[in-house]
Structure 1
Amino acid sequence: MTVWTDATAGDGPLRAIQDDRRRNQQSRTARTAQATSVSEGVFRVHSGARIVVEDAGNIEVNDAGDIIIRGGALRMTNEDDTVGLVFIGTNASGVAVWQFSHGNGDPGFGLFGTADRSYWAGLDRLGNELVSNDSETGVGLARPYLNIPMVPSTGTSVATGGPFWPAFTNVAYQEVMHGITTLWHPRISIGVGTNAPSGTVDWQLQVDGVVAGSASGTTVGTFDVPGWGSTIEPNGTSHSVQLWARNTAGVQSRVIVDRCYSLQS
Structure 2
Amino acid sequence: MQVNQPSNLIDRVIKLERELSAVRKKVGLSSAIISRGGLTLVDDSYIKMTDSDGVQILYIGPSPAGDQIIRIRREGGAPVLYTYKAPNFDGQFWALTDGTGRIIMSDSAEVGAGLARPWLPIALYPKFTTHTYTTDPGLGETFDYMDIDTARLSGETVLWEGRASVSHPWVTIEGVWGRSVATPNVTYRLKFANTEVGSWNVNSGATGGRQGRFSVKDFVGQDWVKVTVTASASGAGAIACQVLSCYLQ
Flag whether TM exceeds 0.5 (same fold): yes
Deviation at 1:151, TM superposition (A): 1.5
Q: 28, 35, 38: which one pairs with 2:23?
A: 35
- Counterpart code for 2:231: A
Matched, 1:113 2:118: no
Contact 2:184 2:239 survives alignment (8 Å): no
Matched, 1:253 2:239: yes
Deviation at 1:118, TM superposition (A): 0.9
Distance in 1, matches of 2:147 and 2:159, equals: 7
Give me the CA root mean square deviation.
3.3
Match of 2:157 in 1: 174
Taking structure 1 as the reference length, the TM-score comes to 0.68
Contact 1:165 1:254 survives alignment (8 Å): yes
Contact 2:131 2:149 survives alignment (8 Å): no
Match of 1:84 in 2: 56
Distance in 2, matches of 1:207 and 1:191, equals: 16
Match of 1:137 in 2: 111
| CA deviation string 1:106-128 (max 9, x = no partner) | 21112222593211111112221
SS at match of 1:252: strand
Q: 159, 164, 167: which one pairs with 1:184?
A: 167
Aligned in 2, Cα 1:168/1:210: closer, same or farther, shift over 3 Å? Answer: farther
Distance in 2, matches of 1:117 and 1:205, equals: 29
Deviation at 1:149, TM superposition (A): 1.2
| CA deviation string 1:121-140 (max 9, x = no partner) | 11112221001111112221
Q: 192, 195, 200: which one pairs with 1:210?
A: 195
Taking structure 2 as the reference length, the TM-score comes to 0.72
Deviation at 1:62, TM superposition (A): 8.8
Match of 2:126 in 1: 152
Pair member with larger Rg: 1
Matched, 1:220 2:214: no
| CA deviation string 1:155-196 (max 9, x = no partner) | xxxx44757724141484221111122221111111131333
Aligned in 2, Cα 1:150/1:63: closer, same or farther, shift over 3 Å? Answer: closer
SS at match of 1:85: strand
Unaligned 5+ residue runs, structure 2? 1-6, 26-31, 133-140
Distance in 2, matches of 1:220 and 1:255, equals: 13
Identity, % of aligned pairs? 20
Match of 1:241 in 2: 227
Match of 1:15 in 2: none
Distance in 1, matches of 2:236 and 2:171, equals: 29
Distance in 1, matches of 2:110 and 2:57, equals: 28
Distance in 1, matches of 2:109 and 2:66, equals: 18
Contact 1:73 1:90 survives alignment (8 Å): yes
Deviation at 1:86, TM superposition (A): 0.7
* 83-92 or 114-123: bigger deviation: 114-123
